[in-house]
Structure 1
Amino acid sequence: MSLTNLNLKQPLVILNIFLFPFLLILSFLFLSQCNLSEDKVFQFCDNFNDELKCIEPKTENDIVFLDRSKFKKENPSYEDFGNFLYFTARETPGFRLVLDTAWNGKTSEEFRSHYNAYLVYGSAKERMEGNSFQPKTVVSFHYLGALLKEEFRHIGIAKNPFQIEALGPIVLTYIVEIPGKEPISKVRTIQLRWKP
């Protein structure tokens, strides 16, 4: 078949044959960027700088190594360990959240007054103590020691002799309530270990 014998429908078929792979690749690139941006919206992070950038990123599953030489209690209880985490180790699970629009379309005051972030471990649920805001970025953190102590009291082991090995994985649930958005719930598991 020569090019002069092509009817009008054939150029469209040829164009579609070449256009389809191009559109497929373009769609794939667009969707992969959507996934990347979704991952960047909520980020586990335990430390931030003044610009609210994450300087200690975390994952859904982490091992946190603690300096045993700084835990100076003799015959420590679980409550003592919670105090160590709070006052000495200063472990602060947190997150960084990037908003689509400034204050999620609300006023700064409205956003701040209706924003809530909670950290849950077992039956203990506490409002996150640290919150910092910028128009399109929010960071929140909580002291792990305070949360663990509350759960230790609830299950009746606060005064029992402490063994780090008996803790097992600590499953934390982050709950974030943002004005104008559905609540966000994320789970992170950490294991506490002594540094070798």
Structure 2
Amino acid sequence: MSKKIFNYFNKILPTILFLLVFQLTMSNCNRELAMDHFQVCDLFDNQGKCTEPWDKTKTYQLRIPANKKLKTWEDLSHFLYFQARETPGIVIYWNRDFTESEKKEFKSKNCHGVFVFYGRKIEMEGKEIGDNWMGFFHYLGTILEEEMKHRGRWTKEIYLSEVFPAPMEIGFHCGDKSFMTSTEIDLSIIK
């Protein structure tokens, strides 16, 4: 008798497992997509792991080679962009994996990271979408370039205290989903 029960159980076990996995998958897909948490970050890998996290404040310390002369905001911005390659950004982690239609929407032009730097909104140029995370970044050199051109100081002498420390909001906007957090960045030059 027990052998019959064992054989019967072995026959229905795959069906039970399939139904269980199917139910778990469907319940996950039916959950409303919501932001789980975020990390302000200078660098993240292709799995969404933030490798250079920071909290509410960040001081960028630039080491300038002795043979490099930075006299204008243009010089500094180009150094930040091409040599230092500092990229403040944010990684957003979600409560479940994205559906294919959500992934398609997030990869569209309607989804982007955003900075608010001295009251001016700047779209981030970098975007990466994972299974249940999205990351955005922008080059600090570009942020500084846009601000100093706006102030008419692009080709003028550098006075860090004109800009830094700087209040900055960072976040994203994707369709009906958006988020912003307040941060502050500072910059010091080490010769």
1:194, CA displacement in angstroms?
2.1
Structure (1/2) with the larger strand percentage: 2
Q: Does residue 103 in structure 1 map to residue 98 in structure 2?
A: yes
Residues 157/115 of structure 1: CA separation in 2 closer, same or farther (3 Å cut): same
2:9 matched to which residue of 1?
Answer: none
What per-residue deviation string (whole Å, max 9, x for no partner) do you get for residues 85-142 of structure 1? Answer: 1111111001111012323794321232232211221254321111111121111100
1:137 matched to which residue of 2?
Answer: 133
Structure (1/2) with the larger helix percentage: 1
1:71, CA displacement in angstroms?
7.5
Structure-2 separation of matches of 1:47 and 1:195: 22
Larger deviation, residues 148-157 vs 161-170:
161-170
Number of residues of Structure 1 aligned to a counterpart in Structure 2: 157
For the Cα contact (< 8 Å) 2:167–2:185, is it kept in 1?
A: yes
**Which one-letter code corresponds to 1:49 in the other structure?**
D
For the Cα contact (< 8 Å) 1:103–1:111, is it kept in 2?
A: no
> Which runs of structure 1 show a deviation greater than 2 angstroms over 4 or more consecutive aligned residues?
101-107, 123-126, 163-168, 178-181
Q: Does residue 84 in structure 1 map to residue 79 in structure 2?
A: yes
Structure-1 separation of matches of 2:95 and 2:36: 11
Larger Rg: 1
**Which one-letter code corresponds to 2:89 in the other structure?**
G
Structure-2 separation of matches of 1:70 and 1:131: 35
Structure-2 separation of matches of 1:186 and 1:42: 10
1:186, CA displacement in angstroms?
1.1
Structure-2 separation of matches of 1:71 and 1:163: 20
Structure-2 separation of matches of 1:185 and 1:120: 9
Structure-2 separation of matches of 1:57 and 1:141: 13
2:179 matched to which residue of 1?
Answer: 184
For the Cα contact (< 8 Å) 2:93–2:133, is it kept in 1?
A: yes
For the Cα contact (< 8 Å) 2:40–2:90, is it kept in 1?
A: yes
Question: Could you say what the CA RMSD is over the residues aligned between the two structures, in angstroms?
Answer: 2.5
User: What 5-or-longer segments of structure 2 have no aligned partner?
Assistant: 1-33
TM-score (norm 1): 0.71
Residues 42/167 of structure 1: CA separation in 2 closer, same or farther (3 Å cut): same
Q: Does residue 112 in structure 1 map to residue 114 in structure 2?
A: no
